[in-house]
Every structure is written in structure tokens, then in C-alpha cells.
């Protein structure tokens, strides 16, 4: 079968490999869709933590079951997605029902080879039933689940002003579930096209471009001088992470969702006087996947608005990744199809 390999930063090429035989406790899947994630793009750039080369990328997937133990509750020909966080089951996090931050976690397409290939072998307990959703929708469940998990971590109360910094696909997922939770959402980004997308398709009333306006002054005006009681960073940008504390209300929560390699720092008095709550949000839980599926089935979220670019598996190469990284091409979500 064909596989797409990120050989080193800036180089994607096809390779041939043998389909792995079915093993006990595993399912063999035929991949149908692969969503391009920020993780994949950062890996291509060489800026992704927890990463070694060469690597087969891809963890936003939909697939069809080819082989599986019938006792698993799944059947040949069934459409599925997967939870791509393979946990150990016995560490402190796993014992406390936090497999998303397992000490020994292997994220599909990051720590181990992922889904940019025609067939994959995954543990049966990581399969997720389609709930009647199509292949495009199934491939969007994982990134939306990241947002759902972050919003759940924040414990948003209806009517709170919630600032989402960074309006890529993960930030947009946070926006969607913050809105569903009843928040007054404010989107911040330096990309006017992304902010317009948020206004047009995600029903965001308030947007801020910090390159064009005084972000703190704008926040004060929007929030009646209170600032945001919840701030999410979905940029993974060091300057943005360090600056986020300045947007937080006293008594507020700051949730770091984006990821980058360097140390971050805040002014301690600014952080302390707010009695700020700082937390990270990593990956997602099965319950988050189930919440996303429910939101898609009940039309609380329209996933088709996210897919702005499509490409066939055979046409993917290094130039395609460079194209997706170029802000001029206004990519929200690129989707790979395998016939």
C-alpha cells in the first residue's frame, strides 16, 4: 500500500509498505478521509514538539472497517473514526480516567506513524461509531473534540465573556462549543479573513485584530470594563501566550490549548492579583467525541463550512503542504480523500 512520509522538515514523499496483518485486539481499517491538522503542518515546518522524523502524519481520520473481531461490536464495512491517543492504561493519569494525558501516550501520527496511508491497524477500543455521519464529518470529529474538551475544562457559565485567541480550526472548535455553552464569545486573530469567517459562519458577534486596534481597550469596551472571565490560547505562539494574561478578568481562567516548544512567562503580580486559574487542555476524551457527534447530528455545528480545500491522496506532496501553510490561500481545513 501507499503511505505518505514526512521524511524531514519540508519534505513529503510517498513510500510503499506492506499491510500489517490483523492482531488480537486490533482492527484493520481502510482510510477514506484525512484532515490536515496544525500538528501536521507544524511537523512539516519542523516546529512540532514531541516529534521525530521520519514520520507518517495524520490523525484526523474517517475509515471503513476491513477486518475486526465481531465481538468488538464493530463489523466489516462499517464507517468509523478513531480516538488517536493510544494510552497505556496503568499510569497515574489513566488510573484517574485521564487517558488524554497518559504519561506514556502515543498519539497517532505524532509519536507513532499515523493515518496518511491506505490502511491502518488500530486498537479496537479506539474505534468510534459513525452515528450516521458521513466521511467528511467523521474526519472533523477529532479536531472539534479538542475544542469541546477545552471548553469542558473551562467550566463556562452562560453569559460569560469568553475570549478565544487564534481562530484556526482548533480555535473555531473552541468558539463553537463556548457558544453552545452559552458564552458571549470574542474572537481575536491577526488574520482578517479568519475573523470574517467567524462572523459569517460561527455567529461570532465580537472580533478583535490586535494589529489594527488596541486589544485591551477593545476588550474593555466589549465587556463593560470587566475583561474576559475565560481566555483560551489556540495560537501556540509564544508572544500570544505570554500576552494572554493581560486580557483576563480578575478571578478568571486562562486555558492553554495551543502548543509550542519554548518556556512561557507572565508578570507574577499581574497573574497573582487576579487570583488567576491557569490550566492546559490536551487532546480529548471519548465523552468529548460523543458530545461532538451529538452536536453534529443535531445541527448545532455545520462541519461543511470548515472544509475549504480538497485534494486526492495521490496528489499530495511537499508543495501541497507549502500551499496550505500560505495565509494567502485562506485555508481553514484541507481534506485528503482516498478512493
Q: Are 160 and 232 in contact (CB under 8 A)?
A: no
Distance CA 153, CA 104 (A): 22
Of residues 281 and 38, which shows the higher confidence score? 281
- Residue matched to cell numbers 490536551: 282
Half-sphere exposure of 99 (CA within 13 A, CB side): 16
pLDDT at res. 303: 81
Q: Taking residues 231-255, what's their average pLDDT? A: 96
Per-residue confidence band for 36, with pLDDT thresholds at 50, 70 and 90: very high
Q: What are phi and psi of 3, to 5 degrees?
A: -135, 150
- Residue matched to cell numbers 524531514: 8
C-beta pairs of 99-104 under 8 Å, 24+ apart in sequence: 99/285, 100/149, 100/282, 100/283, 100/284, 100/285, 101/282, 101/283
Per-residue confidence band for 174, with pLDDT thresholds at 50, 70 and 90: very high
Closest CA to 326 of 334, 314, 336: 334
Return mean pLDDT, the chain. Answer: 95
Distance CA 236, CA 251 (A): 24
Q: Taking residues 317-337, what's their average pLDDT? A: 95
**Alpha helix positions (H), the chain:** 38-45, 92-95, 135-154, 169-180, 192-201, 215-222, 238-243, 268-273, 286-297, 318-325
Distance CA 100, CA 240 (A): 25
pLDDT at res. 38: 87
Closest CA to 187 of 217, 220, 209, 212: 209
Q: Taking residues 201-214, what's their average pLDDT? A: 96
Is the alpha carbon torsion for 51, 53, 55, 60 positive or negative? positive
Rounded (10°) angle between helices 318-325 and 38-45: 110
pLDDT at res. 259: 86
- The tens digit of pLDDT for each residue in 93-137 reads 999 999 999 999 999 999 999 999 999 999 999 999 999 999 999
Within a 10 A sphere around the Cβ of 269, how many other Cβ atoms?
A: 8
Is the alpha carbon torsion for 16, 20, 26, 29 positive or negative? positive
The segment with the largest mean pLDDT, out of 50-64, 212-226, 300-314, is: 212-226
Look at strands 206-208 and 184-188 and give their pairing. parallel
Distance CA 235, CA 123 (A): 31
% of the chain beyond a pLDDT of 90 = 92
Within a 10 A sphere around the Cβ of 29, how many other Cβ atoms?
A: 27
% of the chain beyond a pLDDT of 70 = 100
Per-residue confidence band for 325, with pLDDT thresholds at 50, 70 and 90: very high
| Model confidence at 48: pLDDT above 80 | no
Q: What are phi and psi of 327, to 5 degrees?
A: -60, -25
Amino acid at each position: 500500500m501507499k503511505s505518505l512520509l514526512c521524511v524531514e522538515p519540508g519534505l513529503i514523499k510517498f513510500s510503499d509498505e506492506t499491510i500489517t496483518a490483523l492482531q488480537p485486539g486490533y482492527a484493520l481499517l481502510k482510510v477514506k478521509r484525512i484532515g490536515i491538522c496544525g500538528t501536521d503542518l507544524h511537523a512539516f515546518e519542523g516546529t512540532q514538539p514531541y516529534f521525530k522524523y521520519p514520520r507518517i502524519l495524520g490523525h484526523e481520520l474517517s475509515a471503513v472497517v476491513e477486518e475486526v473481531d465481531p465481538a468488538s461490536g464493530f463489523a466489516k464495512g462499517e464507517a468509523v473514526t478513531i480516538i488517536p491517543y493510544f494510552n497505556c492504561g496503568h499510569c497515574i493519569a489513566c488510573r484517574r480516567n485521564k487517558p488524554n494525558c497518559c504519561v506514556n501516550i502515543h498519539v497517532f501520527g505524532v509519536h507513532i506513524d499515523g493515518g496518511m496511508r491506505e490502511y491502518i491497524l488500530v486498537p479496537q477500543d479506539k474505534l468510534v461509531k459513525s452515528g450516521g455521519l458521513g466521511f467528511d464529518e467523521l474526519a472533523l470529529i477529532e479536531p472539534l473534540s479538542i475544542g469541546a474538551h477545552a471548553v469542558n475544562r473551562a467550566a463556562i457559565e452562560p453569559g460569560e465573556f469568553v475570549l478565544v485567541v487564534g481562530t484556526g480550526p482548533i480555535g473555531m472548535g473552541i468558539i463553537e462549543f463556548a457558544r453552545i455553552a452559552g458564552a458571549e464569545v470574542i474572537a481575536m486573530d491577526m488574520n482578517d479573513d479568519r475573523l470574517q469567517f467567524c462572523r459569517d459562519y460561527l455567529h461570532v458577534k465580537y472580533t478583535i485584530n490586535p494589529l489594527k486596534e488596541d486589544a485591551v481597550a477593545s476588550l474593555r469596551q466589549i465587556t463593560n470594563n470587566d475583561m474576559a472571565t475565560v481566555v483560551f490560547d489556540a495560537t501556540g505562539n509564544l508572544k500570544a501566550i505570554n500576552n494572554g494574561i493581560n486580557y483576563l478578568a480578575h478571578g478568571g481562567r486562562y486555558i492553554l490549548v495551543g502548543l509550542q516548544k519554548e518556556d512561557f512567562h507572565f508578570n507574577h503580580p499581574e497573574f497573582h492579583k487576579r487570583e488567576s486559574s491557569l490550566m492546559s487542555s490536551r487532546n480529548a476524551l471519548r465523552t468529548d467525541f460523543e458530545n461532538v457527534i451529538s452536536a453534529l447530528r443535531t445541527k448545532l455545528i455545520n462541519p461543511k463550512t470548515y472544509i475549504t480545500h480538497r485534494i486526492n491522496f495521490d496528489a499530495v506532496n511537499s508543495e501541497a503542504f507549502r500551499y496550505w501553510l500560505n495565509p494567502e490561500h485562506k485555508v481553514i481545513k484541507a481534506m485528503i480523500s482516498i478512493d
